[in-house]
Structures are given as structure tokens and as C-alpha cells.
Amino acid sequence: MTTLVLLRHGETLLTPERRLSGSGGTNPGLSPAGRRQAAATADALARRGGIDAVVTSPMRRCRETAQAVATRLGLSLQVERDLREADFGTWEGLTFAEVRARYPDDLDAWLASPEMPPSGAGETMRQVAGRVTAVRDGLTVRYAGATVLVVSHVGPLRTLIRLALQAPPHSLFRIEVAAASLSTVTYEKDGTATVRALNDTHHLN
């Protein structure tokens, strides 16, 4: 059985305001609160033990979170470009309320279909799911029988959870993945996936 422990990056200054922050935006680093979250997560995972590898999105907030954990665990950091967040186009930096006010038809279309990109962006959520699936398949082969920490963003992590549940694409928006939360998915040799933990933030208290 292969285990993926899914860690969302710690907070940036945009996170508390729930502003869209994708791969086409400003690429912010962790805020002071986010750095504290990363340290607390590193301590919790060190106590837990059993992490064999740390893999991260290349985006700054994820690399900073992942580096805190990898340093604490004495592991090297591996970067997977396809774990990056989606590109939100002209929605970057906006709240959903602001997107709703400025691009109501585009937002409705995006929420209704994984084939529709955000305004001004080229990548759809179906394409995001495709690259995230490829990363998952590669990791379960490369680290068969091991436990891998995957540090990424809301979109990719929700996608991994949705796929494990065999849930439809629209369910993506009904999965909560808080900043610095931990979720766990296991994969049997035949590919059967089981979600064993979801959105755990107890280590941040």
C-alpha cells in the first residue's frame, strides 16, 4: 500500500481574505502566520514519523512549507512542476464575490463545467486533473509501499481527494482543504484508493 499525505501550503497574506492565488499570479511566499503553520506542521509530522519523501509544487508558498518539513525530517525536497495551482487568469487576486461581480457569466460557466477556463486563462480544471493524475500515478509507482508527503494547493489537492472518492468534477468545490491542513489517501496495488483523513488541522491548535 502506498500512502500520500496531502499538505496544503501555509497561509499567505491572500489566504485569510480567500483571494484566488494561482500559477498566473504574484507567487506570494508565506506570511508570518503561514511560517508558524509550517513549523507546527513540521513538528507534528516529525512526531508522527514514517514520511519517506517530500514532494512539492514549485510555487514559493509550497516550497517554503515543504522545506520546513523536509528540514525537520532530514529529507531532501523534490519539486514536481505539475503540482502547481491552476492559472486563474484575470481572476488572480480577487475574491469569489469580486469575480461574481465582474465576470458573472464566466464564473457560472467555470463552476458548471470542468471544460471551461477562468477568464483570460488557458487551462481548464479537466487539464489540471490530467496533470495531477499523472503526478499521482508516477508517485505510486516510484514510491510503491512508501509514504510520501505531497505539498500543494487547493485545486490539486481537492482533485486528488475527488479522484480517490470517484466523485464527479463538480464535487471539487465541496471539499474543504484549509491552509496547512493534512489529508491522507492510500492506494492498493490494484489502484484502489481510500481517503483515510481529510482537512486535519489539529496540529495547528
- Return the pLDDT at 148: 98
- Return the pLDDT at 195: 98
Beta bridge partners of 175: none
Give the model confidence (pLDDT) of 29-71 as tens digits: 999 999 999 999 999 999 999 999 999 999 999 999 999 999 9
- Catalogue the active-site residues: 9, 85
Give the model confidence (pLDDT) of 117-171 as tens digits: 999 998 999 999 999 999 999 999 999 999 999 999 999 999 999 999 999 999 9
- Contact residues for 59 (Cβ-Cβ < 8 A; gap 6+): 9, 23, 27, 84, 85, 153
Cell numbers found for residue 114 = 470542468
User: By CB neighbour count within 10 A (0-12 exposed, 13-18 middle, 19+ buried), where does 183 fall?
Assistant: buried
- Return the pLDDT at 160: 98
